[in-house]
Amino acid sequence: MCGIAGILETGISSESLKAKGQLMMDKLAHRGPDADGLWQSKSCNLVLAHRRLSIQDLTESGQQPMHSASRRYCVVFNGEIYNFRELTVVLNQHGHSFSGHSDTEVLLAAIEEWGVVGAVKRFIGMFAFALWDKEENTLHLCRDRMGEKPLYYGWLNKAFYFCSELKAIEAVAPQGELEIDQSALSDYLRYGYISAPHSIYNHIFKLPPGTFLSLPVREIQNVAQYSPWPDTSPCSPQSYWSVLSTANHGLSNIISDEREALEELDQLLRSTIRRQMIADVKVGMFLSGGVDSSVVTAIAQQEASNNVQTYTIGYSEKDFDESKYAEDIARHLGTKHLTMHVTPSDALQVVPHLCTIYDEPFADSSQIPAYLVSKLAREHVTVCLSGDGGDELFAGYNRYLWTDNIWRKLSVVPRPLRRLLGKALSIPSPGTWDSVYRVAHTLSAGKHASQRLVGLKLQKLAGFIQQDDIEHGYDYLLTYWHDPGQLLNAYTDRSKNDTEVFPETEDFINRVMYLDQVAYLSGDNLAKVDRASMAVSLETRLPLLSHEIVDLSWRLPVSMKVKNNVSKWALRQVLYQYVPHKLIDRPKMGFSVPIDQWLRGDLKEWAHDMLGTINSSGKGILMEKPVWQAWNEHINGLRDHSHRLWTVLMFLSWVHSRS
């Protein structure tokens, strides 16, 4: 895992260009503390920069920037190609030889043999890279299929920049050139993240997952016809793989036999995890105690020659604490397990650094435990496997089933009556509903598993049932500020791209899984994992997001993902081969934090002070009244506005850090 950056700029001296490249590289030191490297082109004003976290081939043979054997190509590469050993065998048969055993050297040989697109389609892995073709005077940028690795790029004052993290561009951008994209800010306040192709800044973009961008020097200098949306213009990113095509292919090739499906899933999980455990450094596992991380850990332990190391985050607030379940599973599997219990004090120490770790506004509060568990693991290992992606691929989120079931029952009720019911449900505070539920659960003698956050769920239900249709209802559940215009002094809404289409299915669960795979997964979940782990120089690997498993997941019917109101049915069947039902079958908790309680407790003073900077640090972008209204209602326990407030707090913290 590494950090990459580069600049192509005319009208600048070679020395000045090198200095800017060095500055960008230094800003990414946390992504690669083991080595660094710069390369400048003699034919044009191009510099490529690299920071290295040594994982494969720890010798100098793995240093970057790296040239191909013919010297035609020069690359800076971030990520892992898990099938590089198989590709090495094939390339040897084609006459290629290798001086080391790094996957970067294999990448270059593959590109020489098959071209950029032909090679990338053969790669199984997570990656972002920049490749300079000296023969064609063309710069190629490429990102992996699901968006596990980040890649920013854009034009400022006729210079072209790219990098792994925005802080590298911020370090060298001309004064006053970086301006906040108001539409991106609106999206952020609505969903808590900014999805590709946009970033928080005008003219700076994220390369969408599954695409490459090829820019001859002449097109880099003339970008008038450029579009950041894939496949919309000759200068736009071009798709080499997409969730849409994968979903459509899978839906037309459904596996109807359960035994066949489960056998194929088990075998594919084994081969994928076996590949991803290959490293020249120590490898560990994140183990939350849920289905996804447990199945990855269980198979990894089967494949390992020694007891694997596992890591868990716990909380003093029992409604959020899954650590005891993770410890039980670790004990059953025989792993070497470590648990870190997070306190509000721990969170308070991390909060001031979040704006640096996530270098554009980012409001998924599980960013805190993601960073802390990464920090814990980095004390012992350099690589960690994680179960991220299982929810989006195998219908694991409660909201999928919850939305489908509730809407089926309530859709027959006229909307005026639904609105009245919703308003009635919203009158009691979440705390009141929680108290009522505790009494009811006690009177029922605990016949059913206890549910957590009942008040918050009823608060969401109250708004959900007032929506026009199920699609608007689902979007309501995902949003923080439902109308960002009420917060922004200069509100600019961005309509959804016209190229956004759905797979050929009428099934609601398939449609929302698709939405989450193309937006939420890379924009929120994977960005969180990458930044949190790389902030402490830890590589995370996500076996469930191998494109081969994504392909297979779309061939499984919804009935193999949700059965008898139980989510992730197929994954569970595989897991039950390694872990008893009793250690797994319980209500889903998710990787969430008690941010609502912390904002009323240890984080209250910090949050209040930060909100007081809306006009100063916030530069007048936000309006005070709706924010303070949400704050007062939250502090007084009338509503749970914790996630709304967190979006504002993270934005203000980000702006303040860049003042």
| CA separation for the pair 14, 64 (Å, rounded) | 20
Under a CB-based contact definition with an 8 Å cutoff, are residues 131 and 139 in contact? yes
| CA separation for the pair 314, 311 (Å, rounded) | 10
Q: What is the DSSP string of 463-531?
A: HHTTSSSHHHHHHHHH-SSS-GGGTBTT----PPPTT----S---HHHHHHHHIIIIIIIIIIIHHHHH
Q: What is the chain's alpha carbon radius of gyration, rounded to the nearest angstrom?
A: 25
Active-site residue identified among 2, 142, 163, 355 = 2
Under a CB-based contact definition with an 8 Å cutoff, are residues 190 and 479 in contact? yes
For 45, half-sphere exposure in the C-beta direction (CA atoms, 13 angstrom radius) is 21
Residue type, 567: S
| CA separation for the pair 492, 512 (Å, rounded) | 26
Nearest to 301 by CA among 340, 329, 328, 324: 329
For 15, half-sphere exposure in the C-beta direction (CA atoms, 13 angstrom radius) is 0
Under a CB-based contact definition with an 8 Å cutoff, are residues 492 and 186 in contact? yes
Sort strands 73-81 and 125-133 into parallel, antiparallel or unpaired: antiparallel
Give the Å distances, CA to CA, from 248 to 14, 242, 445, 502.
49, 10, 48, 9
DSSP 8-state code for residue 36: E
| CA separation for the pair 626, 629 (Å, rounded) | 5
| CA separation for the pair 534, 163 (Å, rounded) | 14
Q: What is the DSSP string of 533-599?
A: HHTTT-EEE-GGG-HHHHHHHHHS-GGGTSBTTBSSHHHHHHHTTTS-GGGT-S----S---HHHHH
257 class by beta-carbon count within 10 Å (0-12 exposed, 13-18 middle, 19+ buried) = exposed
* Encoded tokens for 324: 């005891």
Residue type, 306: N
- How many CB atoms are closer than 10 A to CB 516? 24
Instruction: Return the SS3 of 21.
Output: helix
- Give a three-class secondary structure readout of 49-112: EEEECCCCCCCHHHCCCEECCCCCEEEEEEEEECCHHHHHHHHHHCCCCCCCCCHHHHHHHHHH
Is 74 one of the annotated active-site residues of the chain?
no
**Would you please indicate which residues are annotated as catalytic (active-site) residues?**
2
